Amino acid sequence: MLLRRPFKVVVWGCLVLALLCGPAGARSVELKFQGMITAIDQESASVGTFSIHAFDFQVKVVVNAETEINGSNGDTWKLSDLSVGQFVQVSGYFSSKGLVAKEIQVRHDPRTDFEFRGFIENLTNSGTTLTIHGVAVLLDASTRIEGEGSDSPVAVSSLVVGQPILVKGFVKTLTGNAKQFIASKVKVGRPDRNRLKVEFEGTIKSINGDRNILQISVRGSDAPAEVLLTSETRIKGTLAVGAFVEVHGFLNSQLQVVATEIKVGDHDADDDKREPSTHTLKREIELRPTSVEPKAEGKAQFEFKSANEQKFQVEVEDLTPAAVYKVLVDGKELGSFTTDHRGKAGVTFRTSPGPDDRALPNTLRPVTAIKTVQVVNGSGATVLQGSF
């Protein structure tokens, strides 16, 4: 019997599996996640595989001739340009060959800066050095430690082995070319935030009641997704072969989707002639700091539901407090904002702006065409930048 115990679960992580609608309404699945490269196996300069450490397990990624790789400065790379230790964001999809990368964005150059997400593996020197992914990271007087959902500083003594954390910092070259990783910021999270979040839609291909496993076919993928049901899975509707379902859950080390919630629809997803239901296309990128304000952080995102429902948003933190900055999209100025006393700010542009929003200019429509985003200071110097 399939387990059906109602239970609400909220998860977050560094991986998102989102339903995308192409220009002709065709659907495919995009898998997004990020982590540190731990191994590379090349068949040629552009084809092969690499493994990345995403929280507590390794994910193997297939790179083919169609994979687009962008360096940390936005330039085009090949698989042969990647190296162990680099932190990358991967957009890909499930395939009969495994997890195939559609796009790879190098987010940090391990020679100059780093970003690690995972668990504290060891603490030494009275907690001033922590180990994550086998790398020793120094916490000095300038390191800011923050707790979950709070901007208030956390004492280094509160760190314990096994805690999930996000660590950002820079690499210092010592005598003899040795490298020292120094943390500028540590963010302590909750255990459930280490789950790799998955959301997608598809049609149930088979049900294995003994193992509580569903095989779900997803349009745009040549391999079904394997969905595992647990006692905590919340199911809305009746599961049946051929039923169209919306799945929410997280990925495990066997690349199964552990379902937290499944919603059964009332239409046939295999009917290619039906009109596609309305879905919001969302994309989010990290805005990387430059040497002007190396501790700055930011992100940009767009949402496209229809020609009349579009949104573009930029959020920043750790910039100079009470300072004015400008947002540039594809090299053109979009608007300005002022940071608060903590160096935080956010600005949102919509086709139908609310009281706290700004109007989305026609030149920015559709938002899906946006390529580059920059945040510049009053002197015109770029402090944050990123590419979709």
Cα 272 to Cα 292: distance, rounded to the nearest angstrom = 51
Q: What is the mean pLDDT of residues 308-314?
A: 93
Cα-based angle 319, 324, 330 (whole degrees, multiple of 5): 85
Q: How confident is the prediction for the chain on average, in pLDDT?
A: 80
Q: What is the pLDDT of residues 89-115, one digit of tens each?
A: 888 877 777 788 988 988 766 567 777
Q: What is the mean pLDDT of residues 60-71?
A: 91
Cα 254 to Cα 88: distance, rounded to the nearest angstrom = 21
Q: What is the pLDDT of residues 148-162, one digit of tens each?
A: 766 678 888 889 998
Bigger pLDDT: 367 vs 31: 367
Nearest to 182 by CA among 294, 267, 259: 294
Q: Does domain 113-192 have CATH number 3.30.590.10?
A: no
Which residue type occupies 49? T
Q: How far does CA 344 lie from the centroid of its chain?
A: 21
Q: What is the mean pLDDT of residues 62-69?
A: 93
DSSP 156-203: GGG--TT-EEEEEEEEEE-GGG-EEEEEEEEEE--GGGGSEEEEEEEE
* Confidence at 331, pLDDT banded by 50, 70, 90: very high
Cα 357 to Cα 309: distance, rounded to the nearest angstrom = 13
For the domain spanning 281-387, the CATH number is 2.60.40.200
Q: 100-124: b or e for each residue (b if 16 or more CB lie within 10 Å)?
A: bbbbbbbbbbbeebbbbbbbbeebe
Identify the pLDDT of residue 382.
95
Nearest to 123 by CA among 196, 183, 34: 183
Identify the pLDDT of residue 113.
74
Task: Report the percentage of the chain scoring pLDDT > 70.
Answer: 81
Cα 94 to Cα 378: distance, rounded to the nearest angstrom = 45
Give alpha helix (H) positions in 6-50.
none
Q: What is the mean pLDDT of residues 34-52?
A: 89
Identify the pLDDT of residue 190.
62
Class of 28-107 per CATH? mainly beta
> What stretches of 330-376 adopt beta strand conformation (E)?
332-338, 345-350, 358-359, 372-376
* Confidence at 10, pLDDT banded by 50, 70, 90: very low
Do 28-107 and 113-192 show the same overall fold?
yes
Identify the pLDDT of residue 2.
43
Sheet holding 135-146, edge to edge: 113-119, 164-173, 179-188, 135-146, 129-132, 122-124
The single residue listed with the structure tokens 């992914």 is: 133
Cross-strand pairs, 281: 304
* Residues ≥6 apart with Cβ < 8 Å to 280: 303, 304, 305
Identify the pLDDT of residue 59.
82
Domain ranges within the chain, ordered by starting residue: 28-107, 113-192, 281-387
Cα 132 to Cα 135: distance, rounded to the nearest angstrom = 5
Bigger pLDDT: 64 vs 198: 64
